[in-house]
Structure 1
Amino acid sequence: MSFRSMTKMWPFALWLAVFYCCWLGLVAWGDDWSTVISHWPIAMAMALGSYVAGSTPMGGGTVGFPVLVLWFDMPGSLGRNFGLAVQSIGMVSASIYILNARRPIDWGLLRPALLGALIGTPLGAWLVAPYVPDLWIKLTFAVVWCSFGIMHLIKIRELVATEGVSDRWRHLDRWIGLGVGFTGGIIASLTGVGIDMFVYATLVLLYRADLKIAIPTSVVIMAFTSVIGIAANVALSRINPSLYYIAPEVYANWLAAAPVVALGAPFGALIVNLISRTPTLLAVSMLCILQFVWTIVQEGLSGLPLLGAIASVLAVNGLFHLLYQCGNNRPILEDLQLELPGGEPPLDLADAED
C-alpha cells in the first residue's frame, strides 16, 4: 500500500483513535482493569472471531456465541447480546475500513436490506426473542450455521470462481432486499448473527455475485444490524428489566473483547484480499458443522428433537438450493420470447407491441 493510499485511510484511523480513547476512559472510570484481565479467554477467542468476521460472511458472534454458550455453558440470550455488542465494534470497524478502502458493495440489494433490518431487528427483540426458550435459541444458531457450512462445502469451487454479479434479479432488488433484511433481522434478534448469512447467500446463490462483492456487503449489513440490535435490547431492558434482561457478564466480556475486535475484523477484511478465500471458508464451514454436533451432544438431543434439528438443517439447505436454482433460471423476459414456427427468430416483445 502506497503512502498516498495510507493517507486516504484517515477516517478509519480517526475511528480507531476515538474508540480506543473511549474504551480506555470506560475502563479507567470504572476501575475495570481486573475485569479485562480476568476475561482474557473471550478476548483470545474473539481474536479468531474478529478475523472470521472481517474475512468471511460470518459475524464475530459465530465464534463468540458457541464459546460462551457451549464452552462456558452460559445462556443463549447472553451469547446473543454479547455477539451484538462485540460486533457493534468489530463489524463497524471492518465496515469503516471497507468503505474507506472503497471495496465493492452491492448497494442495490443492501439499501432495502438495511431498511428491512431496521424494522425486523427491534421488532424481533421486542416480540420474539424474550419468548423463545433458551434451547431453541441454541438450536436456531446451530441449525442456521450448520446449514451455511454445508452449503459452502458443496458449492465452494463455484462460489470462489464466480466473477462480477448478475443483473437478472435487479428489478426485484427492493422487495428481495427488504424481505431478506426483515427476516434476517428477526434471526439476528434471536442469535446475534444471521442476517449477514442471508444477504450473502442471496448474493452468491441468486445473484451469482463475486465473493469480493458479497462478503463486504454482508459485513456492512451485520454491522448495522448489530448496532440496531444491541441498542434495541438496551432500551428494552430499561423499560422492562425482568423480561429483557441483559446479564452483567455481557459488558464484562465486551470490555475484554472490544479492543481486540476493533483491529481484528478490519485485519481480516485486509488479509482476505491478499490470500485465497478457499482455506478460510472451508475451515469456518467445518467449524459451523462441528458446533452443530457439539450442541446436539451437549444438550443430549435424541428421538424427535434430534430428528427435528436434522430436518431443519435439510430445510434450510433446501432453501439455499432453491435460491441456487432460481439463480440458474433464464431471465423472465427470455421466457416470454417464444420461438416462432419455421425456424424464425424469437419474437421481440417491443416489435409485437408495434
Structure 2
Amino acid sequence: MGFLPLKSLPRLWPFYVWLILFYGIWLGIVVFGQYAGTVLSHWPIALTMSVGSYVAGSTPMGGGTVAFPVLVLLFEMPGSLGRNFGLAIQSIGMVSASIYILSSGRTVDWGLLRPALIGVLLGMPLGATWVAPAISDLWVKLIFAVIWASFGIMHLVKLRELVAATGVSQRWRCYDVPIGLWIGITGGVASSITGVGIDMLIYATLVLLYRADLKLAIPTSVILMAFTSVVGIASNLLLASWHPSIYRVDPEVFTNWLAAAPIVALGAPFGALVVNLISRTPTLVIVSLLCIGQFVWTLVHEQVSGLTLLGALAGVLLFNVMFHGLYHLGRGEVPFTLSNSADHLATEEADG
C-alpha cells in the first residue's frame, strides 16, 4: 500500500488489523492442515482472482463476476460451485475492500445502504432455501450471463454521462427505505442463484435514479456485496449441514478458496485504492465488454437455442428496459406513456 500518504496510516489501523488476523488464520489452516500442496496445485484460480479481486474493488462488480465464468465455462464446473465459490471468495476480498473503504473515510450512501442490508437478511436466506435449489444448472449460468450482459450494455450506452456525474440528487431520498429494502430482498434472491447481482442493483439505482457520483456508488455497492456474500455463504453452509443432499457445497469450493483468498485480501483493496488514482472509463469499458462477451460465450458454450435463447435475449431486453426507466425517472421524466407522442409527460428540476 505504498501509495498511501503517511498521515492516512493511523486511521487505517482496522484494515491492518484485519489483514494480520486473516493472514494469520489462513497460514495456520495451510500449515496445520497440510494444505500447501493444495494451494500450489490450484494456482490457476489464484491467478484468475488476481484480476477478479481488482475488478471487485474498482468497479460495482463482485469478484464472482470473473470467477463464475472461468470456473463454469472454462473449467466446466457446475453453476452451483461457481456461485458458492463466488460468495466464499467475496467474503474475503470484498470484506477486505469494505474495511479499507470504511477505514479510509470514503463516502458511502448509508441512507440507501442500511435498508438494503436489512433486506439481504431476508432475501438471501429465502433465495438460498427455496429459489436456488429449484433453478437448473443451465439457468444458473444463463441468469448470470443475462444480468451482467445487461449491465455491460447499460454502461456502454450511458458511460460518458455516468462518469461525468457529481454529487447526488435528493429527489428520491424520501423513498430510501422502501427502495433499499427492495434492493436487499430482490438482490439477495438474485445473488443466492448466481453469487452476484445485488451490487449491480444498488449501483444502477444510485447512478441512474439518484444520479450519484461513481465515487459514492462504487464503494456503496462493494459494501453491500460484501455483506451479501457473508450472509450467502453462511446460509449455504448451514443449509448443507442440515440437508446435504439438497444444499450440497462442493469440496472444491474450499480448495479453490484456500488458493485464492490470500490474493483477493489485498487485490480488492488495491482496486479500491487505484480507482481513485486513475480514470474509471478504461476499466469500466473493458469490464463492460467482457460482460457482453461472457454472455455470447455462454450461449455458444451451452449450445443455447430455441425458446431458451429467446428467453435469454428477452431477459437482457427486460433488464435494459428497467435501466431505461430508472434513468428517465432520475431525470424527473416519465419514461413510458400510453400515447404515441415522443414527448415526455412530465419534467421537473433536480433541485433536492
CA distance in 2, matches of 1:89, 1:320: 30
Distance in 1 of aligned mates of 2:10 and 2:304: 55
> Partner of 2:17 in structure 1?
14
3-state DSSP of counterpart to 2:9: helix
Give the Cα separation in 1 of the matches to 2:11 and 2:145. Answer: 41
Query: Are 1:92 and 2:95 counterparts?
Result: yes
2:164 equivalent in structure 1: 161
Question: Which residue does the alignment assign to 1:249?
Answer: 252
Picking from 149, 153, 171, the partner of 2:152 is 149
Partner of 1:46: 49
Mapped pair 1:191 → 2:223 = no
CA distance in 2, matches of 1:29, 1:124: 36
Residue matched to 1:137: 140
Q: CA RMSD in A?
A: 0.9
Q: What is the percent sequence identity of the aligned residues?
A: 68
Q: Which amino acid aligns with 2:87?
A: L
TM-score normalised by L of structure 1: 0.93
Matched to 2:120, the amino acid is: A
Calculate the TM-score normalised by the size of structure 2: 0.93
Q: Does residue 207 of structure 1 match 2:202? A: no
Does structure 1 residue 329 correspond to structure 2 residue 335?
Answer: no
Question: Following the alignment from structure 2 to structure 1, what is the Cα–Cα distance between the partners of residues 120 and 275?
Answer: 26
Which residue number in structure 2 is paired with residue 230 of structure 1? 233
1:227 is paired with a residue whose SS is: helix
Deviation above 4 Å: which 4+ runs of structure 1?
none
Match of 2:107 among 104, 110, 125: 104
For residues 220 and 2 of structure 1, what CA distance do their matches in structure 2 show?
A: 24
Given the alignment, which residue of 67, 70, 75 partners 1:72?
75
Q: How does 1:278-289 map to 2 (within 5 A)?
A: 278-289=281-292
When Rg is computed on C-alpha atoms for both structures, the one with the higher figure is 1
Letter in 2 for 1:233: N
Partner of 1:27: 30
Amino acid paired to 2:175: L
Deviations 1:132-178 (CA, angstroms, capped at 9, x unpaired): 10001000000000000000000000000000000000000000000
1:323 partner amino acid: L
Unaligned 5+ segments in structure 2 are 335-352
SS in 2 for 1:8: helix
Q: Which residue of 1 aligns with 2:306?
A: 303
Task: Give the C-alpha shift of residue 131 in structure 1.
Answer: 1.3
Which residue number corresponds to residue 221 of structure 2?
Answer: 218
Tell me the residue number matched to 1:274: 277
* One-letter code aligned to 2:124: T
Following superposition, the deviation at residue 4 of structure 1 comes to 2.2
Structure 1 unmatched ranges of 5 or more:
332-354
1:9 aligned counterpart, secondary structure: helix
Distance 1:301 1:126 in 2: 28
Residues of 1 paired with 2:152 and 2:70: CA distance?
18
Shift in Å, 1:29: 1.8
SS in 2 for 1:74: coil
Q: Structure 1: how far apart are the matches of 2:133 and 2:29?
A: 29
Selected match of 1:265 from 256, 263, 268: 268
